[in-house]
Structure 1
Amino acid sequence: ASECFVPEAQVAQSPDAQGGAHKVSKESGHQVHWTKEENYMFKLSEFRQPLQKWLHGDKNAISPEPFYHSVLQWLEDDLLDLSVSRNRSRLQWGIPVPDDSTQTIYVWLDALVNYLTVLGYPDAHNAWWPAVHHVVGKDILKFHAIYWPALLMAVGLDPPERIYVHSHWTVHGQKMSKSLGNVVDPLACFRQYTIDGFRYFLLRQGVPERDCDYYDKKVIKIVNSELADALGGLLNRCTAPSINPSGIYPPFSESYFPRSSDQVGAEALGRALREDYELVTSVTLLPLKVTNYFENIQIYKALESITACVRQTNGFFQRHTPWKLCQKNPAEKCWLNTILHVTLECLRVYGTLLQPVIPATADKLLSRLAIAPEERSLRDLTFLPRYHGKPCPFEGRGLGPDTGVLFQKLEKLRCQVETKRSQTSKNSSCE
């Protein structure tokens, strides 16, 4: 573990297990010990105003916003000079200070410099620097938002373009700790919830601005509700042979779903309702909204937006009860095809946008819709072109052959695992 010197103003008394007291860092809560030694110092105090000028000139330099304000608040206090070496007699494993064998470079100093050296500093870093984005935990924000920019300024380099900060995961309201035995094993979670399922939960619930609480029941509830039921159920319903016997991307009818700036007038002309036009608007705007959230590392907001649209689409499908339409009636069949076309178009958008989050599940969804790999880019994503009077390249195309469940419900998955374990135990006992 790395260490740092803590000024006296940042030290407090804390009771220990024996009923006495010891000194701890106010910031981290870790116990501190008094020590005195000679070190090399970096004049951090001279960079308070340059750091303030940098942050006031770029309010997007640190995000989310609460952490930006935290750094500004730190800079309101006097900055003490920073010790950048340690006595080598007690720290032999680090990098020696050049021309001084008695000192070792402070671990955080050489760690931060790696951001530059990996880019080829001092000869070949200009192709990347300073257009770099750091993603850091809130516990090391001071190192990245104060010490590191000041060191860069000292050698005539600009600070990184963006610093994204995230909070931590707790378990039932407690910090993960080996002593408490509450550390969550991600590999075990992958096996229990699938890789896509666990990724989805973490990104869906992970809010960068604050610590998030983890417990197993929450994973099962969210993943089953949003992936297995809402998204997977919608795909199964609109591709089922009973409702889509031809197994194709059916045609869209402008006469049943006319484009009109006057939704009331459009309702009078066709069979689409006001809520249906609201769905079209929501899904049309969704790619840009999700892109902006992704670029600002607000993945949870992107997934909230996608989930809201999935709910709207399920409402659209349920509202028009396509399973009740008579497929032998040409008018009813035309309206049925339009309902299915709109629903499949919505699913195509959701599958495309979900690729970075749940790649395997998104691939399965898009393959079921027969969307080729080269047709899955965000750049070319256009929703419901027929509604806008343009041709749809997917219309009339046969759907993919995989008719299985998009995402298996986690309880069922767990039961199967337990059954296999039980069978293994029985086989072992027989032997």
Structure 2
Amino acid sequence: MFALRFCCVEWMKEENYMFRLSEFRPALLQWLRENPRAVRPTKFYNIALQWLQEDLPDLSVSRQRDRLQWGIPVPGDPGQTIYVWPDALVNYLTVAGYPEGHSQWWPAARHVVGKDIVKFHAIYWPAFLMAAGVPLPQAIYVHSHWTVSGQKMSKSLGNVVDPLERSQQYTADGLRYFLLRQGVLDTDCDYYDDKVIKLLNSELADTLGGLLNRCTTPSINPKQVYPSFCGLCFPTEYVRGSPERRAVPEDYRLVESVSRLSAEVEHHFENLQIYKALETVSHCVRQTNVFFQRHAPWKLDRNNPQDRRWLDTVLHVALECLRVYGTLLQPVVPMTADMLLSRLSVEPSRRGWEDLNFLTRYQGENCPFKGRTLGPDTGILFSRLDRTEKAECKPKKSKKVK
């Protein structure tokens, strides 16, 4: 048997201050149409435009003080409290020094917001700024949400992921890499620990870390140097049938991929598609591992001059690839990238975007790293992770109170 409980609706009326949001609808439409990248990704830009196709009601911006004790009193009217969103949004200005010192920062303002508060940032906030005569933000970046095993995070389900706990378990670099590698801005993404472990073991520990280890192991690189590149072994064009010229067509495809990598990563970063940037880097890392495996430098005879030149060339190409990967990965895994670049003896002053000239010896130019002694071996680049039951995210049954 089920007992039904009926509730009566009590209508209430109160006086509040209103913001004439409806008057700003034409200006908001013009702003968005003239700035198609003002709200990104495009999915949320179109949602904001759709809201403006309909009537835009005026917005209540205060509540009666007798039923809302906390909050900021309306200036000149202590009986009213400012509604939370005008209060919250204005903090963007005040933290930048408004009204005296904000102009140094404010024209370059860029907001990063969740998809559930798009209307407040893409409609209400620009209208407030227009009314105050303050320049609008340069861009509003919108992101979707993380779910856990297909479900929304909830305290009652017990499936909330503690980022501090996970960063200790997977390292800050590891957790950041996973979130940026798997996160898609315009779609909710699913989190579970097995996925984190498999991804980090595959891409950071095995593929990237394994490549660095193979290139710097004393059995392959006994002098622990950044070896020289031989143009006869790896000419700028593929030549078949010469014993000295050992590069094969797949090697040239690797050089092409890594040569355009920085431009591709920059493009994806600018479009907030960091997962695509990391996917592109990961693809090149795999290509480099295949290159290294294909030519098997451990089988070459260092006492044979031709073998020695080719072995050094293979190492030079692989180390150049690693230098590029380490430089590009700095925003995502700064500690890991620093360890990689330090192992290659790349000083901090040569870790910028402008230093990404790849394989300059192949182009007939000088390589500033040739012959340089490698940095000290400080251990494993990224340690493999083991699955632990403690960290596994599983929905828990909520307790029922009888």
In the alignment, is the contact (CA less than 8 A) between 1:84 and 1:109 conserved in 2? yes
Distance in 1 between residues matched to 2:296 and 2:105, nearest whole Å: 55
Q: Structure 1 residues 33 and 204, CA, compared in 2 at 3 Å: closer, same or farther?
A: farther
Residue in structure 2 matched with residue 333 of structure 1 by the alignment: 308
Residue in structure 1 matched with residue 222 of structure 2 by the alignment: 245
Q: Structure 1 residues 180 and 117, CA, compared in 2 at 3 Å: closer, same or farther?
A: same
Which of 376, 381, 385 is residue 401 of structure 1 equivalent to? 376
Give matches, 1:382-397, under 5 Å.
382-397=357-372
Q: In the alignment, residue 355 of structure 1 is paired with which amino acid?
A: Q
Q: CA deviation at 1:98?
A: 0.6
Deviates more, 1:126-135 or 1:264-273: 264-273
Q: CA deviation at 1:403?
A: 5.3
Q: Structure 1 residues 271 and 112, CA, compared in 2 at 3 Å: closer, same or farther?
A: same
Distance in 1 between residues matched to 2:34 and 2:375, nearest whole Å: 52
Q: CA deviation at 1:384?
A: 0.9
Q: In the alignment, residue 235 of structure 1 is paired with which amino acid?
A: L
Q: CA deviation at 1:374?
A: 1.4
Q: In the alignment, residue 350 of structure 1 is paired with which amino acid?
A: Y
Distance in 2 between residues matched to 1:220 and 1:71, nearest whole Å: 38
Which of 62, 66, 82 is residue 105 of structure 1 equivalent to? 82
Does 1:152 pair with 2:129? yes
Q: In the alignment, residue 334 of structure 2 is paired with which amino acid?
A: P
Residue 63 of structure 2 aligns to a residue whose secondary structure is strand
Q: How far does the alpha carbon of each residue in 1:169-218 deviate from its partner, in whole angstroms, 9 at most, with x for none? A: 00011110111111001111112212111111111111111100000100
Residue 236 of structure 1 aligns to a residue whose secondary structure is helix
Q: In the alignment, residue 362 of structure 1 is paired with which amino acid?
A: A
Q: CA deviation at 1:264?
A: 5.9
Residue in structure 1 matched with residue 145 of structure 2 by the alignment: 168
Deviates more, 1:295-304 or 1:83-92: 295-304
Deviates more, 1:171-180 or 1:377-386: 377-386
In the alignment, is the contact (CA less than 8 A) between 1:258 and 1:269 conserved in 2? no
Distance in 2 between residues matched to 1:341 and 1:90, nearest whole Å: 72
In the alignment, is the contact (CA less than 8 A) between 2:147 and 2:188 conserved in 1? yes
Q: In the alignment, residue 319 of structure 1 is paired with which amino acid?
A: R
4+ aligned runs moved over 4 Å, structure 1:
17-22, 32-35, 263-269
Number of residue pairs matched by the alignment = 389
Q: In the alignment, residue 327 of structure 1 is paired with which amino acid?
A: R
Which of 322, 332, 354 is residue 357 of structure 1 equivalent to? 332
In the alignment, is the contact (CA less than 8 A) between 1:258 and 1:266 conserved in 2? no
Where do 5+ consecutive residues of structure 1 fail to align?
1-16, 23-31, 418-431
Residue in structure 1 matched with residue 395 of structure 2 by the alignment: none
Residue 120 of structure 2 aligns to a residue whose secondary structure is helix
Q: How far does the alpha carbon of each residue in 1:82-140 deviate from its partner, in whole angstroms, 9 at most, with x for none? A: 11111111212211101101101111101111111222222222222222111111111
Higher relative contact order (CA 8 A, sep 6+): 2
Distance in 1 between residues matched to 2:242 and 2:99, nearest whole Å: 66
Distance in 1 between residues matched to 2:364 and 2:16, nearest whole Å: 72
Q: Structure 1 residues 186 and 19, CA, compared in 2 at 3 Å: closer, same or farther?
A: farther
Where do 5+ consecutive residues of structure 2 fail to align?
392-402
Q: CA deviation at 1:404?
A: 2.1
What TM-score comes out, normalization by structure 2 length? Answer: 0.92
Distance in 2 between residues matched to 1:40 and 1:21, nearest whole Å: 34
Does 1:119 pair with 2:96? yes
Residue in structure 2 matched with residue 212 of structure 1 by the alignment: 189
Residue in structure 1 matched with residue 248 of structure 2 by the alignment: 273
Residue in structure 2 matched with residue 296 of structure 1 by the alignment: 271
Q: In the alignment, residue 382 of structure 2 is paired with which amino acid?
A: F
Residue in structure 1 matched with residue 397 of structure 2 by the alignment: none
Residue in structure 1 matched with residue 385 of structure 2 by the alignment: 410
Residue 170 of structure 1 aligns to a residue whose secondary structure is strand
Q: CA deviation at 1:284?
A: 1.3
Identity of aligned residues (%): 65
Distance in 2 between residues matched to 1:349 and 1:375, nearest whole Å: 11
Residue 355 of structure 2 aligns to a residue whose secondary structure is coil
Q: CA deviation at 1:219?
A: 0.3
Q: CA deviation at 1:46?
A: 1.0
In the alignment, is the contact (CA less than 8 A) between 1:169 and 1:212 conserved in 2? yes
Which of 44, 47, 53 is residue 21 of structure 2 equivalent to? 44
Q: Structure 1 residues 392 and 33, CA, compared in 2 at 3 Å: closer, same or farther?
A: farther
Q: Structure 1 residues 179 and 21, CA, compared in 2 at 3 Å: closer, same or farther?
A: farther
What TM-score comes out, normalization by structure 1 length? Answer: 0.86
In the alignment, is the contact (CA less than 8 A) between 2:301 and 2:307 conserved in 1? yes
Distance in 2 between residues matched to 1:382 and 1:33, nearest whole Å: 71
Q: Structure 1 residues 181 and 128, CA, compared in 2 at 3 Å: closer, same or farther?
A: same
Residue 102 of structure 1 aligns to a residue whose secondary structure is strand
Q: CA deviation at 1:20?
A: 7.2
